[in-house]
């Protein structure tokens, strides 16, 4: 009887062992089904991003929220008012300064945790490790001027092509 139960256990183990590679194979097939953005290598083997892909400028959602009259243009005045309101949100302890930790937390809540809005150096011009309301507003205006030199932003300014004509900086990515 002992020999029989040992044979049954050994047989069951063999059946399970044979099924395991099939299960493992199915899992690798699932992993292989990841969607990827395709691009074609250009001459020389450099990756060329696909046409029509758009990316948003740093802080685009925050800037878009500053458009109070909903005309699709964020004026310098709207940027100043919006940045002042954003400062009040970022200054969690209400001491009149935004520290690096407060700024990082604020940027993460505003969906900008990985871009320039989370970097305390973006706004702390005098490098004293605390950002005043004036520095915060000036930083938003400075960033807007880098996106559009006029200082006013349109929603179109906040979205750009991944592969802008003449832009060689992203060619090797």
Here the tokens at position 172 are 């090797």
88 and 136 assigned to the same domain: yes
CA dist list (Å): 115 to 34, 103, 108, 131, 144: 26, 12, 10, 18, 14
3-state SS, 140-168, equals: HHHHHHHHCCCCCEECCCCEEECCCCCCC
Question: How far is the C-alpha of 82 from the C-alpha of 95, rounded, in Å?
Answer: 19
**Within a domain: residue 168?**
no
83 and 130 assigned to the same domain: yes
130 and 75 assigned to the same domain: yes
pLDDT in tens, 84-127: 999 999 999 999 999 989 988 988 888 766 778 888 788 888 88
Average pLDDT score over residue span 64-76 = 94
- By C-alpha distance, which of 35, 38, 46, 42 is closest to 173? 46
Q: Which residue has the tokens 């948003």?
A: 56
Task: Compute and round to an integer the Cα radius of gyration of the chain.
Answer: 27
66 and 149 assigned to the same domain: yes
Q: What is the pTM of this model?
A: 0.61
Tell whether the model's pLDDT for residue 137 goes beyond 50. yes
Domain region containing 38: 2-48
pLDDT in tens, 13-68: 444 445 444 444 444 444 444 444 555 555 666 666 566 667 777 688 889 999 99
- By C-alpha distance, which of 90, 71, 70 is closest to 139? 90
Structurally, the chain folds into a number of domains equal to 2
Tell whether the model's pLDDT for residue 10 goes beyond 90. no
Query: What residues does 161 pair with on adjacent strands?
Result: 54
CATH number at residue 118: 1.10.238
pLDDT score of 109: 86
């Amino acid at each position: 009887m002992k020999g029989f139960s040992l044979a049954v256990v050994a047989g069951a183990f063999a059946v399970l062992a044979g099924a395991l590679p099939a299960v493992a194979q199915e899992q690798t097939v699932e992993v292989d089904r990841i969607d990827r953005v395709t691009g074609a290598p250009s001459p020389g083997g450099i990756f060329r991003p696909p046409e029509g892909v758009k990316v948003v400028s740093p802080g685009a959602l925050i800037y878009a929220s500053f458009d109070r009259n909903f005309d699709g243009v964020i004026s310098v005045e709207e940027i100043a008012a919006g940045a002042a309101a954003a400062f009040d949100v970022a200054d969690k302890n209400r001491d009149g300064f935004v520290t690096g930790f407060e700024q990082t937390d604020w940027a993460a809540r505003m969906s900008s945790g990985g871009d320039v809005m989370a970097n305390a150096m973006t706004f702390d011009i005098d490098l004293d490790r605390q950002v005043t309301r004036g520095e915060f507003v000036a930083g938003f205006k400075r960033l807007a001027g880098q996106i559009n030199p006029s200082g006013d932003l349109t929603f179109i300014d906040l979205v750009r092509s991944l592969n802008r004509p003449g832009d060689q900086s992203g060619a090797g990515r």
